[in-house]
Structure 1
Amino acid sequence: MPSQFDITSLSLLQRARSDDQDAWQQMVHLYGPLVQRWCKRSGLQDEDVADIFQETFRSVSTHLDRFKPVKEVGSFRSWLRTIVRTKIADYYRKLNEQPAGRGGSTDQLRLAAVSDPMAEDSDEDAGEENALIVQRAMDLIQPEFSPQNWKAFRLVALEDYSAVEIAEQLNVQPQAVRQANYRIRRRLRLVLQDLMEPDDTPLE
């Protein structure tokens, strides 16, 4: 288990690989909604989504050391997406192998007509999903900072105010705004380090 110093100096991925349960829960917090989204796009019912969700993160836990955060290989999101796609394909293959089960002939016809909604990863989908991950990472770290510093960060990072403008609003020095923005960005980068390419982070 990492020490308190390690927690502040290691990336979320490094901590999860070290069997840090808090880090693992944070990984599920960041990426769980994407797994559910991909499953639902594939036509799965809620109970099946829950099963694929559990199988996916069980596989991630087992094979996390295999993920290599190298630009040519792709982001963690892409790696995770491949796992989900495999689990969904396995599910449909097993379902098609059943004689006349669940849903009968109507269900079989529906399955035969289902295209693979995860076959292509469009730039639009990738951008939307990366933005979702960043937002959930921000939700994760927000309690670590004072409301005033967080407000200053959001105004600078998301609403494009200058440090001088925000300092006037909050009745603080511009340098205090810059320091708050720097500290929060650095913390956010640490959470997402090795999980996302810098170009995929909207706040960069």
Structure 2
Amino acid sequence: MERAPQTRQSLLLELTRHSDEAWVEFVEVYEGAILGFCRALGLQDADARDATQEVLAAVHGRIGTWELGAERGSFRAWLFRVARNVSVDVIADRRRRAADGGARGELVLRELSDVGADAAETFDIELETALFRWAAARVRSEVRESTWHAFERTAVQGRSAEDVARELGTTVGSIYTAKCRVIARIKDRVEGLSGVPEHGHEPEDRR
């Protein structure tokens, strides 16, 4: 599986300097991925939301311990470790209380030591999904409604270009063009977050 793109270094540098603007952008992009990951580990919605806030608080407090170019690995890997450790702590706490401590509680902790053998892959999937949603939300505001509908109904809903063309009263070629245009813009947004230069698309005339 291809890994999610890395976070651009300029954002990480601003995070280490505790920039409020950088933090808002970070939360906007990554909160959904962390929440999805916590749910995937088995936490109920309320617990997953609590764990997500704990992860964000941990990142905010520990970001200074991560260094650009550090040998320990990418920021994505560091964030995964923080999210996993906090989630495991929350799960352990819930199960420990349910088991009322004792030998059963210790058994639960041992079981959690290898929680989610596929956790890293799950985190990547959630991150890719969150990045797509973040980028798509911005691209939608840049294109005409008809362009967005052409993309959404073919690429997201899986409907045929012919069907969508009839519904929108346009040609099949126009549907394919609109779909490709939106996909390219979304890709550029995601690449821009990872530090790859964007192609500089101009916003469409949305009239």
- Give the TM-score normalised by structure 1: 0.55
Q: Is 1:143–2:137 an aligned residue pair? A: yes
1:151-194 alpha-carbon deviations (Å, 9 max, x no partner): 44453478597xx7698555253444422221122113334x27
Shift of 1:127: 3.8
CA contact (8 A) 1:167 1:177 kept: no
1:14-44 alpha-carbon deviations (Å, 9 max, x no partner): 1762431431331223323324544739xxx
Q: Is 1:111–2:105 an aligned residue pair? A: yes
Aligned to 1:183: 185
Report percent identity of matched pairs: 14
Structure-2 separation of matches of 1:69 and 1:112: 38
Aligned to 1:73: 73
Structure-2 separation of matches of 1:157 and 1:69: 37
Aligned to 1:57: 56
Structure-2 separation of matches of 1:167 and 1:71: 50
Name which of 125, 130, 135 aligns with 2:124. Answer: 130
Q: CA RMSD in A?
A: 4.6
Q: Structure 2 unaligned segments of length 5 or more: list them.
A: 1-6, 196-207
CA contact (8 A) 1:152 1:180 kept: no
Cα distance change on mapping 1:168 and 1:37 into 2, 3 Å: closer
- Give the TM-score normalised by structure 2: 0.54
1:76-115 mapped onto 2 (5 Å cutoff): 76=76, 78-87=77-86, 103=97, 106-114=100-108, 115=110
Count residues in correspondence.
169
Cα distance change on mapping 1:92 and 1:40 into 2, 3 Å: closer
CA contact (8 A) 2:34 2:83 kept: no
